[in-house]
Amino acid sequence: MKQIGQILRSKRESLGMTLIDLEKKIKIQKKYIEMIEKNNFEHLPNPDYTRGFIEKYARCVNLNGKELIKQHESELPVEKKSAREAIDTLKATHITENDHSTRKLFYIIIASLGILFIIWILSQLLFTNKDEMFKPASLNPSRNISVEKKQEPVSKVDKPAIKKQVKPETSLTYKNFDGSNLTYEVKSQQPLTVKIVSKMPTWIQVFDDKNKNYVYNEIKEQSFKIDKEAKEVTIISGNSTSADIYINNQKVSVPKEAENLITRTYFFKVSKN
């Protein structure tokens, strides 16, 4: 039976993920990841954090960390305090230290609002009715003269032009996610242009249902015009977390559950608007 570190390493390598890739994703130093993969838990800065580290590692490579720990409990150091408990303790301490200052600020705001409300009430009582004595009707009622108001000619106002809603020339709709496969529907009157933009060189393959292969190479940024007769377009990305895909300048969205996949296969079903 493989040790827990060997299982994690095998899964990482099957996804094409390097130690540096994993370090960036789970924020654990590369040297500690290597210790985990070698079951060298006693050499970690704090062996009590072993379970927390393993759970973060497992989640990133699409494994059930809790189940993995349960199956390999005998390989792990005796648990004193987990990483999660240590973090919760630090959070609780931080909240306790700031609780007093937060309540003090709340009371100051409430008191300030109360004072402003009282000032507003007093201003209404003291000043609202005094203006009545200076109105012309109060000074000399006999001089009140009714004056006809001139009716201003009603000008014809042009009705605002109603703007016609223009449908986008290309619509891109996400349909479903299965394993490492993502399916989309594309509707467009125009020929499709696929653009790949990656932070680092990434292996990309693009082909259609006519068996036309547009690229199978390591690229960083490149655009491809898809045959107008194509009904399906497939894109396979070798390092998807660093690459963005655009269809006619529309960025292809990825559901949250697929964000950590290193290798992805995108299926685009193409039809006319």
Q: Indicate yes or no: pTM above 0.85.
A: no
Contact 194, 224 (CB under 8 A): yes
pLDDT at 134: 46
pLDDT at 139: 46
Using the Cα atoms of residue 89, residue 92, residue 96 and residue 102 in order, give the sign of their dihedral. Answer: positive
Distance CA 238, CA 244 (A): 12
Give the largest CA-CA distance in the chain.
110
pLDDT at 90: 47
Phi-psi region of 129 (alpha: psi -120 to 50; beta: other; left: phi over 0): alpha
Which of 173, 178, 198, 174 lies closest to 258, judged by CA? 178
pLDDT at 89: 47
Q: What's the token pair of residue 171? A: 């619509």
pLDDT at 84: 63
Domains of the chain in sequence order: 4-80 (1.10.260.40), 170-271 (no CATH)
Q: What's the token pair of residue 258? A: 């697929």
pLDDT tens for the 273 residues of the chain, in order: 899 999 999 999 999 999 999 999 999 999 999 999 999 998 888 878 899 999 999 999 999 999 999 999 999 988 665 556 556 644 654 554 456 667 888 889 999 999 999 998 888 887 655 555 445 444 455 555 455 556 656 555 555 666 666 556 789 899 988 877 889 999 998 888 999 999 888 889 999 998 899 998 889 899 989 998 898 998 888 877 888 999 989 999 999 888 888 888 888 999 987
